[in-house]
Amino acid sequence: MNYSYTLKEVPYTTLTKIHDFIFDDEIALKYFEKKIRDNVGPNDYLTNVKGQMTSWRLFLKDPEFELFITEVFYPTIFKHKGVLMGHKEEEILIKDAWGNILKKGGNVERHHHRDSYYSTVIYFDNVAPLQTDIGTIETCRGKVITLDGFLHHWVNPISEERINLVLDNFLSKDLYLQMKETFLGENIPWFLKKGTVDNEAKDIAWFSHCIYNEFKPDSNLFTLFPEFIEKLNIGSIIQIRLNLSFKTSKNFKTVWHTDYNYKNNKTAIFYFNTDTTGTIFKIKDKEKLIKAKENRIVIFDGNVKHCAYLNNKSDKRVVINFNYYEKN
């Protein structure tokens, strides 16, 4: 007997929720990120992830991941967000836990996890917003997003290469306020400089206070920097310095430069002011402005060309400039 059938797609609506919180343990985030980078390969371009991918269960027995689940994820989800209402912690089973890396042009195809109650993602940057059937979710480093398993989601092709990592609220509040009061105060000895690191644009005047240079501290203020060193995962310091500049007569960009022509070093810029100045990065033929914002840090490879953006709106711009090597 022959049977015939028709397939009809019918739109439907149902109650769904999206929950998120920020996980700001930079040591744990760096550990997870490194483990992903070290273990991609088994599922590269073989799934709906059109990029590099680890094995499905890479993190299931990882002690650091288990600590995140029991000490951070469960308490936040159960006690504060009410996502898993009706379920007990001991009833929750994590089926898979994998990682992926998308490069320029990579994407994640539209899919769902209907065989699971929930799906959760930890993000390490803000390059690719998460698309869902009920809207777009902006991402950032440390953002943890939990969706209902039936909700379709995807990532559009990435149009840009990541050239930097922007972290807001980088320092603990008390330390940030202490450093801001100190470094924007009147008791810092500033030294006049002219030109940029590559000695161009000699008519540019700015001020500097060196914190660490030539393998040793160069200022008593270095005692304020342990939290920076830990969170940036610094293994070896090339230089740390404060930079001070003032309002210009017009909008102005310094010359394109790199701080040091070394191999595999990192550069970071920490901002004390929220204003319309910032740092412009250059990759290929594109320019990208990262605006200054208090307690924000931008981290990038030392070989990325950049320049300061100054204008006639901000009276004073103070930043900390780091050049260093990360721990292995």
Domain definitions of the chain by residue range:
18-155, 165-326
The answer to whether residue 109 scores a pLDDT higher than 70 is yes
Specify the pLDDT at position 190: 94
Global pTM value: 0.64
* Alpha-carbon gap, residue 40 to 32, rounded angstroms: 12
Euclidean distance between CA atoms 51 and 55, whole angstroms: 13
Percent of the chain with pLDDT over 70: 86
pLDDT digits (tens, 9 = 90+) for 256-284: 888 998 988 999 999 998 888 899 998 77
Are 228 and 172 within 8 A, CB to CB?
no
Q: List pLDDT tens digits, range 212-246.
A: 998 899 999 999 999 999 888 899 999 999 999 88
The pLDDT of 309-320, averaged and rounded, is: 82
Q: Quote the tokens at residue 213.
A: 């240079």
Q: Averaged over 251-257, what is the pLDDT?
A: 84
Domains 18-155 and 165-326 equal at CATH topology level: yes
Percent of the chain with pLDDT over 90: 43
Query: What pLDDT score does 202 carry?
Result: 52
Assess whether pLDDT exceeds 70 at residue 195.
no
Residue 14: pLDDT above 70? no
236: which residues sit within 8 A by CB, 6+ positions away? 324, 325
- The whole-chain average pLDDT of the chain stands at 85
Q: Does residue 160 have a pLDDT over 50?
A: yes
Which homologous superfamily does the CATH classification assign to the domain defined by 18-155? Answer: q2cbj1_9rhob like domain (2.60.120.620)
| Residue 92 in tokens | 């929750």
Between 160 and 1, the more confident residue is 160
Q: Which CATH superfamily is domain 165-326 in?
A: q2cbj1_9rhob like domain (2.60.120.620)
Residue 86: its pLDDT value, please?
Answer: 60
Q: Is the pLDDT of residue 1 over 60?
A: no
Residue 21 near residue 145 (C-beta atoms within 8 A): no
Q: Is the pLDDT of residue 182 over 50?
A: yes
